[in-house]
Amino acid sequence: MTVDAERADLGSRPVVRKVRRLRAFLRNPTFVAGCVILAAFVLIALFAGVICSGDPQDMVAQPLLWPGDDPQYPLGTDALGRDVLAQLVYGTRASLLVGVAAAAIGLAIGMMVGALAGFFGGWVDTLLMRLVELFQTTPTFLLVIVILVIVEPSLPTIAVAIGVAAWPTVARLVRAQFRSLRESDFVMAARSLGYSHLRIIVQEILPNALPPVIVAASVMIANAILTEAGLSFLNMRDPNVISWGGMIGDGREQLRDAWFLTALPGAAIALAVLSLNLVGDGLNEILNPRSDQS
């Protein structure tokens, strides 16, 4: 084989690998189904103002209209006469935003702590793992409540509180990945070339440790959405923002007479969490090195 042919072969290998990975994604029905549902929620959140114009907090009709009573309000109205459909649409934006922001914060903290503990080991590992254990001794939901009691509940503070409480799981996962990879041949080669610790962590080990972290991210977003819903049910929420959990909290007093006020946002939460779990399961099957699809 000529030199030009060898270079062409080496250049085509990443492309072939990407094509195979794309085919694996498309052939996984679990992943595709989760992505379709999740994409629908994302589009609803992005185009909420187009789907339902106006303020979802406005009182627009007679209170407690049932779904189908008025064609202008197909999902009815709540106890204050607000459009339930508009609240569901705008609630999608708030709930997804909290889930993604909380997961990003938790991933950032967990990856930093886990990477340092797994790479350096020794007293650094011991100290950071004691910190992880300290956070894990307190139930996540209780820790979030304590944080929100100290600061005023708002959409940003809720996301930060959930993210701060959720990072220990990611830290342990990343630490395990770094401990298994830090003695690999490519890391030894990077050390021999004089690469700095930061460069080895960020450019060499971290990309190889990402697949399980990506799977964990989908679960973290789902858990954050559920946690926000639980907090809103306890009235620990931003009163100026419509969310699915807030709708459930507002509708609990009419649970016997107007059960749809809690059933509709509850179904939206269940469907969103289901889609994220499907995406996570699909990613786990595809990115698992022992899987036939990877």
Cα dihedral 91/94/100/103 (nearest 10): -100
- Res. 15 pLDDT band, cuts 50 70 90: low
Model pLDDT for residues 207-253, shown as the tens digit of each residue? 888 888 888 888 899 999 999 888 888 888 888 888 898 888 888 88
3-state SS, residue 69:
coil
- Res. 9 pLDDT band, cuts 50 70 90: very low
SS (H, E, C) 144-187: HHHHHHHCCCCHHHHHHHHHHHHHHHHHHHHHHHHHHHCCCHHH
Q: Which residue has the higher pLDDT, 286 or 179?
A: 179
Q: Give Dmax (Cα) for the chain.
A: 80
| Low-confidence winner among 16-25, 78-87, 125-134, 182-191 (lowest mean pLDDT) | 16-25
Domains of the chain (ranges, CATH numbers) = 53-278 (1.10.3720.10)
Q: Which amino acid is at 289?
A: P
Model pLDDT for residues 104-162, shown as the tens digit of each residue? 999 999 999 999 999 998 899 999 999 999 888 888 888 899 998 888 888 899 999 99
Q: Which amino acid is at 281?
A: D
Per-residue confidence (pLDDT) for residue 16, from 0 to 100: 59
Taking the model in full, what pTM does it have?
0.84
Flag whether pLDDT at 294 surpasses 50: no
Rounded mean pLDDT, 274-293: 74
